[in-house]
């Protein structure tokens, strides 16, 4: 055996998109036999392989104890293959090679929650995207190798549930108190979509008949006590199945669809073919135990994973650089689905808030990368806001430009061309282009370069010629790694309003030069352009980037009066909200008066509350300290931002005066029949309650206490608890104890209990120490870790003081135990370089001190990038 002669994957090797090569062997079929025991698991596999191109037969494997390997029935000794910590290579393997391996793995001690792992005393599950399958058996673990999987799972009968992908074809006794089940998945799939589950779980069952007449069994597996919390997810699943048939013509393709809930999960959920595995936080929904926001999240994630069945599973990615092909498209699809479930304006507001709050800062800092990256060290580090959210925005822009009908023709073409294939972003854009008849190839630029474009707009009205001219300019900040940045196509959705009547002007084609604006959208593709509107009788108010038609930073010299106008008259709810945000930023950062904003809000609210209470609640949003901090590139002083924001909140609370209490007392969610409306009323009441407390009105605490005690709804209970706890009300302690005793066996509710305390405006190092040494704090459960870090990050003054040690400590601990989460959490410190001194140097020194202490590719890659800022 000569290891050096074979290609060795170095642990810290950078992988480049340009180096992509087809696999030398394909796998026609794989038979897996997984036998779970208390202290180990045996995995036997049989791969029927066929040569595709010249080259060695390469099987990837990590942390596997190899017991035996056979090639075409003959046992190989260790001179006939080379093996290192990442792969097993056989040179000169025949055209048709049947490889059998026997390995031993240890799911019972797998804390990384990747591969096969023990998630609870009575549950084993898998997580294989992107590279977990190689921790189960030797395999060409890459998304462009698709195979038919047959899986035998065997375990002690104390685990009655034995699941894998596809259809159950056999089950029976295996002797010595053990049993087995054999599953076969008829559709070819890459290994990252393989899943199996071994456990003791209860099940909620339902059925769905597809448009093709297929009878599909639907099953959601969870702990017995949680089954009543699975009904909302089940409804959402059926709704998603209908929605995909109606909007994309895509029916489900198997006879069974299963979802399994576990609390030991690194992210939200995983779309394994026919056997999704979900974090409990994304499947359990119940008004008594989880918030309205969490209920919406469950529906969105159920839809997201279901939609992956076509965008991701039936058509998958050629390589992991193409991740945004499946994620960006599937996020766009789930966003569209959710826009149909609740106020579409609010869904858009919430999606853009995530984009601006996470993706924009990511794209302006050291972790910036194109939606389709061109290199990585650890692919797990690239499940980012840029890949997901900016990826979704690229699809939204193309959909906006094409309109419903043409977009559908484009997607039909994509599914027709590529079903069963592993493809690239280019294939997607080419299919959309061919199907719609509109050349979209310029949009590839969005996928290939990093950074948020700046869109500068200037408006000029000429009274004598009655023309309104709009000058547009786009630019991107220079980036040393990407010197050839190009202009991108930016769909600018816009409207003009009559300043006197508030009416929207109809933009007839004769009013436009060269008919440049179609259906209210101008496609801006050059570095600079100008458009002219004719027959505009008086100076209009323009509304730009309606519904946030492109992921750009808009600079336009609105007057405060224009913004107040848009807050009242704009019919696009998103731009109404955007007007409030711009006004508030000016009051906060540029010392503008709050009078105009308060008056416009008072004028607009009665109507909005009636029509869309959820939108009314969002109009009260005040940019968070974190968001404000992310807009500052140097000399950032978190305390200064906090003080300014607090004083704005005081000003607003007082300016709204009696309105808050009157509205609070008048509103009642019980009067609403629709969930979305009732959710809006609850959200609004919670905001008003917080404002009453800020006014110094002591009755606020009685109102909050009464709300806490009289409700069974988690959003109401938590809204009240926050007001009591965050204001150190006399009733706060009793409420916290009550909450604890009521929900101590409900992990998701307890996550909220941790978060409320960690996010206390006066939380300090002792608060966090108290929470992290609490008996219910658990470093093995990512949800619990995130409940504290999430609360901590609500207050950047804390993040950037004692929080630094908290994050550094977690990264160090998780580097070995769960590097995916360790790396993710460390990203909270990525904007250290924007801090004012001396904090900047202190945080830098803390990060540098961490460097020699970490080993995982995940944490090292993130740390190196952060330090290179």
To ligand B3K, the closest distance from the beta carbon of 300 in angstroms equals 11
Residue 271 or 815: the one with the smaller Cβ distance to Zn ion is: 271
770 binds, among Zn ion, ligand B3K, none (CB under 5 to 8 A by kind): none
270 binds, among Zn ion, ligand B3K, none (CB under 5 to 8 A by kind): ligand B3K
Distances (CA, A) of 258 to 77, 165, 255, 275, 311: 41, 9, 10, 5, 18
> 669-690 burial, b if ≥16 CB within 10 A, otherwise e?
beebeebbbbbbbbbbbbbbbb
Distance CA 348, CA 180 (A): 47
Stretch touching Zn ion by CB under 5 A, among 323-331, 377-385, 411-419, 641-649: 323-331
Distance CA 264, CA 24 (A): 36
Stretch touching Zn ion by CB under 5 A, among 78-86, 223-231, 326-334, 460-468: 326-334
682 binds, among ligand B3K, Zn ion, none (CB under 5 to 8 A by kind): none
334 binds, among ligand B3K, Zn ion, none (CB under 5 to 8 A by kind): none
Q: How many residues bind Zn ion (CB under 5 A)?
A: 2
87 binds, among Zn ion, ligand B3K, none (CB under 5 to 8 A by kind): none
To ligand B3K, the closest distance from the beta carbon of 201 in angstroms equals 21
To ligand B3K, the closest distance from the beta carbon of 462 in angstroms equals 50
Residue matched to tokens 């404000």: 628
267 binds, among ligand B3K, Zn ion, none (CB under 5 to 8 A by kind): ligand B3K
Residue 141 or 305: the one with the smaller Cβ distance to ligand B3K is: 305
Residue matched to tokens 């494997």: 61
To ligand B3K, the closest distance from the beta carbon of 316 in angstroms equals 11
Residue matched to tokens 């929900």: 743
Q: Give the 3-state secondary structure percentages of the chain, helix then strand then coil, rounded to 5.
A: 45, 20, 30
Distance CA 296, CA 344 (A): 13
Q: Over 7-67, what HEC string results?
A: CCCCCCCCEEHHHCCCCCEEEEEEEEEEEECCCCEEEEEEEEEEECCCCCEEEECCCCEEE
To Zn ion, the closest distance from the beta carbon of 189 in angstroms equals 15
740 binds, among Zn ion, ligand B3K, none (CB under 5 to 8 A by kind): none
204 binds, among Zn ion, ligand B3K, none (CB under 5 to 8 A by kind): none
Q: Which one from 219, 271, 305, 861 is the annotated catalytic residue?
A: 305
The β-bridge relationship of strands 123-127 and 65-71 is unpaired
Paired residues of 316 in beta bridges = 422
Binding site for ligand B3K (CB under 6 A): 129-130, 267, 269-271, 304-305, 308, 327, 380, 383, 820
Residue 153 or 821: the one with the smaller Cβ distance to Zn ion is: 821
Sign of CA dihedral 594, 472, 350, 359: negative
To Zn ion, the closest distance from the beta carbon of 236 in angstroms equals 16
Sign of CA dihedral 285, 784, 805, 791: positive
Residue 327 or 625: the one with the smaller Cβ distance to Zn ion is: 327
Burial class (CB in 10 A: 0-12, 13-18, 19+), 212: exposed
Stretch touching Zn ion by CB under 5 A, among 325-333, 443-451, 474-482, 604-612: 325-333
Distance CA 35, CA 84 (A): 25
Stretch touching Zn ion by CB under 5 A, among 32-40, 278-286, 327-335, 496-504: 327-335
To Zn ion, the closest distance from the beta carbon of 327 in angstroms equals 5
Task: Output the residue with the shortest Cβ distance to ligand B3K.
Answer: 129
129 binds, among ligand B3K, Zn ion, none (CB under 5 to 8 A by kind): ligand B3K
Residue 276 or 290: the one with the smaller Cβ distance to ligand B3K is: 276
The distance from CA 344 to its chain's CA centroid, rounded to whole angstroms, is 19
In order, the DSSP letters of 592-641 are --SHHHHHHHHHHHHHHHHH-HHHHHHHT----HHHHHHT--SSB-HHHH
Residue 303 or 663: the one with the smaller Cβ distance to ligand B3K is: 303
703 binds, among Zn ion, ligand B3K, none (CB under 5 to 8 A by kind): none
731 binds, among ligand B3K, Zn ion, none (CB under 5 to 8 A by kind): none
Find out whether 88 and 138 touch, Cβ atoms under 8 Å.
yes
99 binds, among ligand B3K, Zn ion, none (CB under 5 to 8 A by kind): none
In order, the DSSP letters of 668-688 are -GGG--SHHHHHHHHHHHHHH
Stretch touching Zn ion by CB under 5 A, among 126-134, 316-324, 330-338, 605-613: 330-338
Residue 130 or 435: the one with the smaller Cβ distance to ligand B3K is: 130
Find out whether 381 and 862 touch, Cβ atoms under 8 Å.
yes
What is the gyration radius of the CA atoms in the chain, in angstroms?
Answer: 28
From the list 275, 369, 372, the residue with the least C-alpha distance to 318 is 372
> 772-807 burial, b if ≥16 CB within 10 A, otherwise e?
bebeebeeebbbbbbbbbbbbbbbbbbbbbbbbebb
Residue 326 or 760: the one with the smaller Cβ distance to ligand B3K is: 326
Distances (CA, A) of 36 to 41, 119, 370, 594: 4, 14, 42, 65
From the list 732, 741, 737, 742, the residue with the least C-alpha distance to 711 is 742
From the list 197, 199, 205, the residue with the least C-alpha distance to 223 is 199
To ligand B3K, the closest distance from the beta carbon of 377 in angstroms equals 14
Any residues with CB less than 8 A from the CB of 87 and at least 6 apart, and which? Answer: 8, 9, 58, 59, 60, 61
Distance CA 714, CA 722 (A): 12
Find out whether 508 and 561 touch, Cβ atoms under 8 Å.
no
From the list 58, 44, 49, 56, the residue with the least C-alpha distance to 87 is 58
383 binds, among ligand B3K, Zn ion, none (CB under 5 to 8 A by kind): ligand B3K
The β-bridge relationship of strands 256-262 and 275-279 is parallel
To ligand B3K, the closest distance from the beta carbon of 378 in angstroms equals 10
Residue 304 or 694: the one with the smaller Cβ distance to ligand B3K is: 304
Residue 415 or 556: the one with the smaller Cβ distance to Zn ion is: 415
Sign of CA dihedral 253, 282, 705, 614: negative
Residue 33 or 815: the one with the smaller Cβ distance to ligand B3K is: 815
Residue 332 or 807: the one with the smaller Cβ distance to Zn ion is: 332
Distance CA 136, CA 149 (A): 14
Q: Is 625 a catalytic residue?
A: no
Residue 375: Cβ within 10 Å count: 13
To ligand B3K, the closest distance from the beta carbon of 349 in angstroms equals 22
Residue 392 or 653: the one with the smaller Cβ distance to Zn ion is: 392
Binding site for Zn ion (CB under 5 A): 327, 330
For the annotated catalytic residues, the residue numbers are 305
């Amino acid at each position: 055996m000569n290891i050096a002669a074979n290609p060795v994957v170095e642990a810290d090797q950078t992988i480049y998109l340009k180096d992509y090569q087809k696999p030398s062997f394909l796998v026609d079929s794989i038979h897996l036999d997984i036998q779970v025991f208390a202290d180990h698991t045996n995995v036997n596999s049989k791969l029927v392989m066929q040569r595709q191109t010249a080259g060695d037969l390469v099987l990837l494997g990590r942390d596997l104890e190899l017991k035996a390997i056979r090639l075409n029935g003959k046992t190989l000794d260790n001179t006939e293959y080379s093996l290192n910590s990442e792969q097993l290579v056989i040179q000169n393997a025949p055209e048709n090679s049947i490889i059998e391996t026997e390995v031993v793995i240890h799911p019972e001690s797998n804390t990384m929650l990747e591969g096969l792992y023990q998630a609870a005393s009575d549950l084993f599950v898998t997580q294989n995207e992107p590279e977990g399958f190689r921790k189960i058996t030797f395999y060409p673990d890459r998304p462009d190798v698709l195979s038919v999987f047959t899986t035998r799972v065997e375990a002690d009968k104390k685990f009655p549930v034995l699941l894998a992908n596809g259809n159950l074809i056999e089950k029976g006794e295996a002797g010595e108190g053990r049993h087995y089940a054999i599953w076969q998945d008829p559709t070819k799939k890459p290994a990252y979509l393989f899943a199996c589950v071994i456990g003791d779980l209860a099940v909620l069952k339902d059925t769905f008949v597809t448009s093709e007449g297929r009878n599909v069994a639907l099953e959601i597996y969870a702990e017995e006590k949680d089954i009543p919390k699975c009904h909302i997810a089940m409804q959402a699943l059926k709704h998603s199945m209908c929605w995909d048939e109606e909007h994309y013509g895509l029916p489900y393709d198997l006879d069974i669809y299963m979802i399994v809930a576990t609390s030991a999960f690194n992210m939200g959920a995983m779309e394994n073919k026919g056997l999704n595995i979900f974090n409990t936080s994304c499947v359990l929904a119940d008004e008594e135990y989880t918030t309205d926001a969490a209920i919406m999240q469950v529906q969105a994630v159920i839809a997201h994973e279901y939609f992956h069945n076509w965008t991701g599973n039936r058509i998958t990615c050629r390589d992991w650089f193409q991740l945004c092909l499946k994620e960006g498209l599937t996020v766009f699809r789930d966003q569209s689905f959710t826009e149909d479930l609740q106020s579409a304006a609010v869904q858009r507001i919430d999606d853009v808030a995530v984009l601006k709050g996470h993706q924009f800062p990511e794209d302006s800092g050291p972790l910036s990368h194109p939606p389709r990256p061109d290199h990585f060290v650890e692919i797990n580090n690239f499940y980012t806001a840029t890949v997901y959210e900016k990826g979704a925005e690229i699809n939204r822009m193309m959909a906006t430009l094409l309109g419903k009908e043409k977009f559908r023709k484009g997607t039909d073409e994509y599914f027709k061309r590529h079903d069963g294939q592993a493809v690239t972003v280019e294939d997607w854009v080419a299919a959309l282009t061919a199907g719609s008849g509109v050349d979209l190839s310029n949009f590839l630029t969005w996928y290939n370069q990093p950074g948020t474009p700046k869109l500068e707009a200037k408006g000029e009205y000429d009274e004598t010629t009655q023309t309104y001219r709009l000058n547009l300019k786009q630019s991107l900040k220079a980036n040393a790694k990407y010197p050839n940045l190009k202009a991108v196509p930016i769909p600018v959705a816009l409207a003009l309003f009559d300043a006197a009547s508030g009416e929207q002007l109809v933009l007839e084609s004769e009013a436009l030069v060269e008919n440049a604006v179609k259906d209210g959208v101008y496609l801006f593709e050059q570095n600079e352009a100008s458009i002219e509107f004719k027959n505009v009788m008086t100076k209009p108010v323009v509304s730009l980037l309606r519904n946030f038609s492109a992921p750009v930073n808009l600079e336009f010299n609105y007057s405060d009066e224009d913004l107040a106008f848009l807050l009242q008259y704009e019919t696009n709810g998103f731009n109404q909200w955007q007007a409030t945000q711009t006004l508030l930023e000016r009051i906060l950062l540029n010392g503008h008066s709050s009078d105009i904003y308060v008056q416009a809000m008072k004028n607009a609210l009665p109507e909005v509350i009636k029509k869309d209470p959820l939108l009314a609640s969002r109009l009260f949003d005040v940019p968070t300290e974190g968001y404000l901090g992310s807009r500052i590139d140097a000399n950032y002083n978190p305390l200064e931002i906090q003080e300014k924001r607090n004083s704005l909140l005081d000003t607003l609370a007082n300016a709204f005066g009696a309105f808050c209490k009157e509205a609070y007392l008048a509103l009642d969610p019980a009067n609403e029949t629709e969930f979305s409306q009732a959710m809006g009323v609850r959200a609004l009441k919670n905001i008003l309650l917080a404002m009453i407390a800020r006014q110094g009105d002591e009755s606020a605490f009685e109102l909050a206490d009464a709300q806490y005690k009289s409700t069974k709804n988690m959003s109401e209970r938590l809204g009240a608890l926050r007001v009591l706890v965050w204001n150190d009300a006399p009733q706060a302690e009793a409420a916290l104890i009550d909450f604890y005793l009521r929900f101590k066996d409900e992990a998701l509710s307890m996550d909220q209990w941790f978060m409320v305390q960690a996010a206390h405006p006066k939380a300090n190092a002792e608060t966090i120490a108290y929470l992290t040494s609490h008996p219910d704090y658990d470093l093995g459960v990512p949800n619990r870790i995130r409940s504290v870090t999430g609360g901590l990050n609500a207050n950047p003054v804390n993040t950037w003081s004692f929080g630094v040690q908290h994050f550094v400590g977690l990264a160090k601990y998780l580097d070995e135990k769960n590097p995916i989460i360790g790396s993710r959490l460390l990203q909270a410190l990525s904007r250290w370089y924007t801090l004012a001194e001396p904090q900047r140097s202190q945080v830098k020194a803390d990060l540098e001190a961490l460097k020699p202490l970490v080993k995982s590719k995940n944490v090292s890659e993130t740390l190196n990038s952060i330090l290179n800022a």
